[in-house]
Amino acid sequence: MSAAPGPPTPGAKVKRHPLRDFWERVTEGVQLDVLGRQFLSEAKASYHLYSKDVDWEKVKRARGPGRIWVTSLALFQAMLMKLSPARRVLLLLAIGLIMVQPDIRWGARGQASFHFGGIGVLILFVLLAVELADRVTMKRDLEIAREIQQWLVPESAPRFDGIDIAFSTRPQNTVAGDYYDAFLRPIAPQSAAAPPLLIAVADVAGKSVPAALLMATFQASLQALAITAVPLNDIVDGLDRYCRAHSLEGRRFTTAFIAEIDSQTHEMNYVNAGHNDPILRRASGGIERLSTGGPPFGLPSLTDDATSYECGTVQLRRGDLLFVFTDGVVEAVNDADEEYGEARLLARVQSAPNESSDATLKWVMADVNAFVGPARQHDDITCLVLWVTK
């Protein structure tokens, strides 16, 4: 009887099956159930993309089994029109060759023949390769844009006596229309003895590259205005004038929460420009919402006069927690299309541990991530947490 093989010698190479290695490279180690949920989420997002171009009134007029055919044809046409004209023709040709499968016979008795179905499959493969090449090129360009965008927001929070700050952002696409910032103003306003801390969270209407470009110009405008010795009201008025001049008649407005904190008293002046009301959790556990301000930046007005924004004031004290977020947090959806909602967010912030801003941020984001799971999100998610330590 032969002895059973012992455990492998430490340091010895374990022979792996090539198919197993190939499968692990393809799946990147992701479990099958997770892959299935990801595919369903991506298929659902693709369906929503194509269904926007479908004439659903025409589909509703179809009756019986014919409705399935009309719906499938409408979705196929919507997908077809996303391609360039040359690729549309090739796709139709490939489908025709595969479905009809014409063949040519020659010889006295037709001993030889040639089927065109394989050519159709080859055309489909070439189309797939071309589309993938476009996608890879676009992804590379978007990654470069994302790198540039990351330079525009702080990598780490500034040091400020008695204030602990943390922030997090998760783009819906590679680049985002959300913006957050926290920095000491280089010059103190006329009414301040020392440069205050300025914090900002903004959300440009729209998605992906257009919103990201406007976010970049918004950041540049805020930084340019902040280096002057003007008060917060003048900064806000300047941002609104800029956004109105570049809003495409109000289609690209920007919501924002901008605040200044006095370095000595921790008094905070703020303006809420149509943004989700930040949550201020007092050390006692009480909740306040910061809503004072005005409409989003960039909305057209009936007159040429600048929009008047009201400035709110709150006194921050030791143990207070400020949670600023974009609407992508409360509008995050799960596989059942249920939104995370304000009620869940309020409960989570209220129960957050009194440790640090980073701990609070992780506490909330862990709950959001657990709620949405693998579901694809429709908006960027950004949070800024400020905790008063003394």
The model's pLDDT over 124-166, given as tens digits with 9 standing for 90+, comes to 999 989 888 888 887 777 677 777 767 777 777 777 888 999 9
| Pairwise CA distance, residues 375 & 148, whole Å | 27
CB burial of 304-316 (b: ≥16 within 10 Å; e: otherwise) equals eeebebebeebeb
Segments making up each domain of the chain, as ranges? 18-104+113-148, 154-388
At 65 the three-state DSSP class reads coil
Over the stretch 211-229, which tens digit does the pLDDT of each residue have?
777 888 888 899 999 888 8
> Highest mean pLDDT range out of 28-32, 64-68, 157-161, 382-386?
382-386
Calculate what percentage of the chain has a pLDDT beyond 70.
86
Indicate the class that CATH gives domain 154-388.
alpha beta
Count other Cβ atoms within 10 Å, centred on residue 134. Answer: 12
Residue reference for tokens 């929070």: 157
Question: How confident is the model at residue 114, as a pLDDT?
Answer: 63
**In the prediction, which pLDDT does 333 show?**
87
Banded pLDDT at 319 (limits 50, 70, 90):
very high
Instruction: State if pTM tops 0.85.
Output: no
Measured CA to CA, the distance from residue 187 to residue 230 in angstroms comes to: 9
Tokens of 78: 């919507």
CA distance 358 to 379: 23
pLDDT at 105: 63
**DSSP letter at 132?**
H
Separation CA 236–CA 309 (nearest Å): 8
Q: Give residue-wise pLDDT tens across range 375-388.
A: 777 778 899 999 99
